[in-house]
């Protein structure tokens, strides 16, 4: 029964219920709208989490930051190389043979440097592909972090530049000239980092652990090293691997004359530095760097980037550009020069390419 004897018709009951539902819904919506407005106002005043250093929204990396970390990685790796050598705890062992049949050496210095360099770079740039000469053992990680600082000389010379992370490949050589390292020929030893974008080398870092000298350069950016001003294109000084001196000497002298100087040396990093103006008393000087056999890309990528940044060239013996994607080896040998007619050099040394696949 309705109150006071009033009987509600079915139509009246329906109108009453609908009015009650509408009032309840309006009240609920008003409450939710108020809560949403409060949430938005609160969010405006709340600091948002920063994107990880080395990366940016959209999966990009800043090449200036990557250069800074690459320099630090080469130095940190070099500290390990130096410590092992000076402590005479190399624990050298053979890890295999080169295509020429020479034993490749692996030392504690290689492994320690590799761990430091790899994990520093990977921690700062987790989305970037990193290729290293030595295998990375995930069970034996090296804790090395980046404090996000950029050295003043890099800040002054290099502007920020973002590129997609998927376009970047980093090549690490944790100890270049391991054979010479075991023989205590310290001047040849370097640690190197190279950054390639879409296969082209754009950042190169070459560090000499035993003198603490570091050369770095970025294509279309800047560098802390310069090319030498004097070259002799008619009778160049040609720097080659110690084991290849005989292969190059005969052809070079036939091409350039008997006054051509052949400089046997260890380490691809050292050979590239020989083409530059390097303030190092133990650094030899050369006009051309030639390698006549197969060579790994982590050996040459950093030097290639430095030369490109300074207007120089590093190509195969037939003049082809070397791509730093895909396989880790370069089949075509190499010839490197700066402030010289690179094409003319290639044309003068046609016979060397025949030996590059042997």
Residue carrying structure tokens 């001003």: 229
Token representation of residue 24: 């309840």
50 is in an annotated binding site: no
Residue with tokens 């410590």: 83
Six-digit token string for 126: 């987790």
The answer to whether 72 is a known ligand-binding residue is: no
- Rounded Cα distance between 210 and 66, Å, is 24
175 is in an annotated binding site: yes
CA angle 215, 219, 221 (to 5 degrees): 85
328 labeled part of a ligand binding site: no
Among residues 265, 121, 139, the alpha carbon closest in space to that of 192 is found at 121
| Among the listed residues 312, 300, 161, the one whose alpha carbon sits nearest the alpha carbon of residue 226 | 312
137 is in an annotated binding site: no
* Residues assigned a catalytic role: 110, 178
Tokens (6 digits) for 290: 């030639």
How far is the CA of 203 from the CAs of 35, 257, 301, 317, in angstroms? Answer: 52, 36, 9, 23
Binding-site annotation: residue ranges for Mg(2+):
133, 173, 175-176, 299
Binding-site annotation: residue ranges:
133, 173, 175-176, 299
């Amino acid at each position: 029964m309705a109150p006071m004897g009033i009987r509600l018709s079915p139509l009246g009951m329906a109108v009453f219920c609908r009015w009650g539902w509408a009032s309840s819904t309006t009240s609920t919506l008003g409450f939710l709208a108020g809560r949403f407005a409060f949430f938005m106002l609160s969010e405006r005043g709340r600091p948002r989490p920063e994107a990880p250093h080395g990366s940016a929204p959209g999966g990009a990396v800043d090449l200036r930051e990557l250069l800074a970390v690459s320099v630090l990685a080469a130095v940190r790796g070099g500290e390990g190389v130096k410590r092992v050598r000076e402590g005479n705890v190399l624990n050298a062992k053979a890890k295999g043979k080169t295509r020429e049949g020479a034993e490749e050496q692996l030392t504690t210095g290689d492994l320690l440097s590799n761990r430091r360099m790899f994990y520093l770079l990977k921690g700062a740039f987790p989305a970037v592909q990193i290729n290293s000469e030595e295998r990375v053992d995930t069970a034996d990680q090296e804790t090395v972090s980046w404090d996000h600082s950029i050295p003043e000389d890099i800040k002054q010379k290099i502007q920020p530049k973002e590129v997609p992370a998927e376009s970047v490949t980093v090549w690490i050589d944790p100890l270049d000239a391991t054979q010479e390292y075991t023989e205590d020929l310290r001047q040849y030893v370097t640690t190197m980092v190279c950054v390639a974008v879409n296969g082209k080398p754009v950042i190169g870092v070459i560090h000499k652990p035993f003198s603490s000298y570091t050369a770095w350069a970025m294509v279309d950016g800047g560098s802390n090293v310069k090319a030498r001003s004097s070259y002799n294109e008619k009778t160049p000084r040609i720097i080659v691997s110690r084991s290849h001196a005989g292969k190059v000497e005969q052809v070079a002298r036939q091409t350039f004359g008997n006054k051509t100087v052949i400089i046997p040396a260890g380490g691809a990093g050292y050979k590239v530095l020989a083409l530059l103006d390097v303030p190092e008393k133990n650094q030899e000087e050369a006009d051309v760097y030639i390698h006549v056999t197969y060579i790994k890309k982590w050996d040459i990528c950093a030097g290639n980037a430095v030369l490109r940044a300074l207007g120089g060239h590093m190509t195969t013996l037939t003049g082809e550009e070397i791509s730093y994607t895909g396989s880790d080896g370069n089949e075509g040998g190499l010839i490197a020069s700066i402030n010289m007619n690179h094409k003319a050099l290639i044309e003068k040394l046609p016979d060397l390419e025949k030996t590059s696949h042997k």
